[in-house]
Chain A
């Protein structure tokens, strides 16, 4: 102290004073670095946005057309001689007439309509004429007649699907050049299709069956729909929600608020994080081994799919829930404990309501990723061709079903190009579901986040 007092403070070495108005070289370099960094950021965003744009453009340009379908509209007389050979109008007797009989009836009616409208069928054989009607149509007509036998001997106007190639011609997928090389369609048929279109027998309309019908075989892509897949995905999401939310939230609350911090809880924590990183196909194998081979649940059922997806989604939900519980300020816990609330009351009255927006968002995002999951479902047999709708819950959970992403996959691997369009259409439906779920998450978050 005394030394410092006697020696005056050494004056700092004289510094060249620098005007603030003159740019400084070092400052210039710093500003340039900042500008470069911003440019990199903008470039990165531009690249990702353009990739997203290209992806959406390709999906929508391929897939939007699947929501419209070519249809042939013409009157059909439901002759009882053909459809009810026994002549007694009994439904049981009429079921003996197969779709082949109905197909002949449809073809005859179609030919008659062409003759009546004076449309030339030059260069088109009778067989080719019949093939312009979808193979799906006789079955539809049969179901309709058997559903209401009073229609016998009446003349009704039927609107039936046109064959996939005709539909492709209207959408520009099939052209005169490809038709020459195609065994399933001839240029003459396409010219006839043009004439039918002018005569308003052939037309394109919104395809509700794409959203409601079950899948169809390779021969009739025009009839394939997403009905079973949407139902299956909905069943699985419902089950995943029912399984994951209680277990996930309870686990998180216990680990975060009640569990002692020791080696065991550390081990559990680490393993939950590890589970979130396990490839989904591994869960598929696990599901196959445990739920189907060991527990004996039926293959390709929604319940097995949901159990497998729950295994995958649980870690995500637990991690999201724990972090939102941890984000609740400790002062709120102190306040509640300070007025004599028990641990449980503190958690349920104060911590959970505050953590709710985070829990909801995490749950919905976990569900969204489960909705888009394909690989594990392939392993448990959900890629199977399912032609029947699963019945209503609860038994319906055990019925075979398929899922949206799996349907995308199975259509994309079929040979007929008409299925490529369907596949993109299914992706659009899947994206719509995902967007709806994410928007719900955002809305719920906004709604609950007003912390007064």
Chain B
């Protein structure tokens, strides 16, 4: 295990020379579900203004790590997180941190589109409302419109904002969920296989959207599709059996992987 760790260190040094600074820094993160050691000693730096893709076979821990980043694992009573995850230099697992506040800063989009069974407007307005981000209805209207525009959904729904969010098509629902996630003006947007329930056209729309969102948020995306990772991300991390095997520039991971396991995965021999 000496070798890969050294390689990772090299990558981190490479990252230092890039023009984006680290938004999230994870050091020695271990996750246990009961006695199951699901994530082993993960060190990662997630950069601001960058799309980072987590790839790897099923059960490799990539979704687990993603859910550590906004403490969604807190809802799983058997989960235990060890190690240090810093958001802008602050430990998010510190006792003083309220996960509710953290989740307003680190938004999340889930695998299956899960709009609230409320109107399109209420879906987007919910976050700003509970966090008290707007002072009046007009401001709220503005936020809803701008988020729906950013999510490339405004033109499709502007005439039926009071229609139920669950009545939209799958792709529209997922973009509505993205609009809802960015409505609390988060700094990081986590996406857990956001396109796995979508058809290729909707997938293309969401991917385009992710690329546009990069200018304002750090985006972390978990995906099963290596093509998708290659298309949307600038940095890629490969997880295997709970280990972070390799992390680096997307182009380098896909064209010139340093670890034999990465190479086996992207060429389709494992996973």
Contact = CB atoms under 8 A, between A and B. Distances in A.
A337 B181 CA distance: 11
Interface stretch (A69-77, A102-110, A340-348): A340-348
B116 A335 contact: yes
A331 interface: yes
Interface in B66-84: 70, 72, 75, 77
A260 interface: yes
B254 interface: no
B122 to A, nearest CB: 10
Nearest to A262: B77
B57 interface: no
B130 interface: yes
A127 interface: no
A334 interface: yes
B184 interface: yes
Q: Which of A329, A334, A336 has the most C-beta atoms of chain B within 10 angstroms of its own C-beta?
A: A334
Most A C-beta atoms less than 10 A away, residue of B110, B130, B181: B130
B104 A339 contact: yes
Contacts of A350: 116
A349 B177 CA distance: 17
Interface string A324-336: 0000010111111
Interface in A266-305: none
B148 to A, nearest CB: 15
Given A260-B77, A345-B130, A337 B117 contact: no
Q: Which bucket holds chain A's interface residue count? A: 20 to 34
Contacts of A335: 110, 114-116, 177, 180
Contact of A339 (B101, B127, B165, B166): B127
B170 interface: no
Given A337-B75, A340-B130, A451 B114 contact: no
B131 interface: yes
B114 A334 contact: yes
Interface in A306-339: 329, 331-339
Task: Name the prevailing secondary structure of the A interface residues.
Answer: helix
Max chain A C-beta neighbours (<10 A), residue from B109, B119, B126, B127:
B126
Nearest to A452: B164
A337 B77 CA distance: 15
A339 B114 contact: no
B167 interface: yes
Contacts of B7: none
Contacts of A451: 117, 166
A375 interface: no
Contacts of B104: 339-340
B180 A339 contact: yes
A338 B72 contact: yes
A261 interface: yes
A338 B100 contact: no
Interface of B: 70, 72, 75, 77, 100-104, 107-110, 112, 114-119, 126-127, 130-131, 164-167, 177, 180-181, 183-184
16 contacts: A260-B77, A334-B72, A334-B75, A335-B114, A336-B126, A337-B75, A338-B103, A338-B110, A339-B126, A339-B181, A339-B183, A340-B100, A340-B101, A340-B131, A354-B117, A452-B165
